[in-house]
Amino acid sequence: MIQLTSIANVGVHRTCTPLLEKYEGTPYPIFLDPAETGNVYSGMVAYRTGGDTVAIFDGNTAVSGTTSPKPFGLFSLDRNANIDDVTQVGVNSFAVWLGGENAFFTITAPAFDATQSYSVSTTGARVFLYAGTGTAKGQLTSAAPNSYATPVAELVDVNGPTQITIRLIPVGSL
C-alpha cells in the first residue's frame, strides 16, 4: 500500500517495478537505519549497516580490500516527499529486493541517474550499472565512481529518457 504524504500526490508512483517477481525477485524484510536521513526511492541501492538495518549505498565507499561495504539489494519501499512508507507507520520496517541474475526490474528516475547516458550494447557486451555518489548517492548510474566499484545491475533496455530495465547481479558473482 502506498502511503501518500498529501492528497496532491495521488498521481505519484513507485520508481521500481519488479518483473517476474513471483519467481525471481524476493522482498527481504529489514529495517531502515534510523541514522539514514536521505530521500529513499524504490529501486535505489541499499547496503547493510548492521545485522538488520540498511541505508542508501554511496558507491564511493568501495575501496580496496574485503572490508568495504557492498551493495545488498534495491529498496522496495519509499521514504521521500511524495511517498512515505516509514514515518506515517511509526516504525522503520522496510524491505529490499534481492534476487539472482533472473531478477528483472523497471526503474524510473529519480531511482537512477537520468543525467548519465545509457545505451544497450549491440555487440553482446554487458553494460554494468553502479551505485552513484554525491548528489546521485544510491541511484543506479552507468559511471563507476571508482576503480573498486561493485556492479549492482546490468542494463537490459532503455525504455525512454526516464526509464530503464535492469537485471540484478548477485553480490560476489563477478
Domain ranges of the chain: 14-168
Q: Name the nearest CA neighbour of 74 among 17, 148, 134.
A: 17
The model's pLDDT over 123-133, given as tens digits with 9 standing for 90+, comes to 989 999 999 99
The model's pLDDT over 63-105, given as tens digits with 9 standing for 90+, comes to 655 667 888 999 998 888 888 888 777 778 999 999 888 899 9
Q: Is pLDDT at 169 greater than 60 in this prediction?
A: yes
pLDDT at 43: 94
The Cα 95–Cα 73 span in angstroms is 10
pLDDT band per the 50, 70, 90 thresholds, residue 21: low
Which helix (H) or strand (E) segment holds residue 18: the answer is strand 16-19
* Neighbour-count burial for 109-122, b at 16+ CB within 10 Å, e otherwise: bbbbbbeeebeeee
In this structure, how many other beta carbons lie within 10 angstroms of the beta carbon of residue 78? 26
Q: Is pLDDT at 3 greater than 60 in this prediction?
A: no
Distance, CA of 74 to chain centre? 4
Give the DSSP letter of residue 151: P
Q: Is the peptide bond before 18 cis (omega within 30 degrees of 0)?
A: no
Kindly state the cell numbers that stand for 36. 539514514
Kindly state the cell numbers that stand for 10. 495521488
pLDDT band per the 50, 70, 90 thresholds, residue 62: low
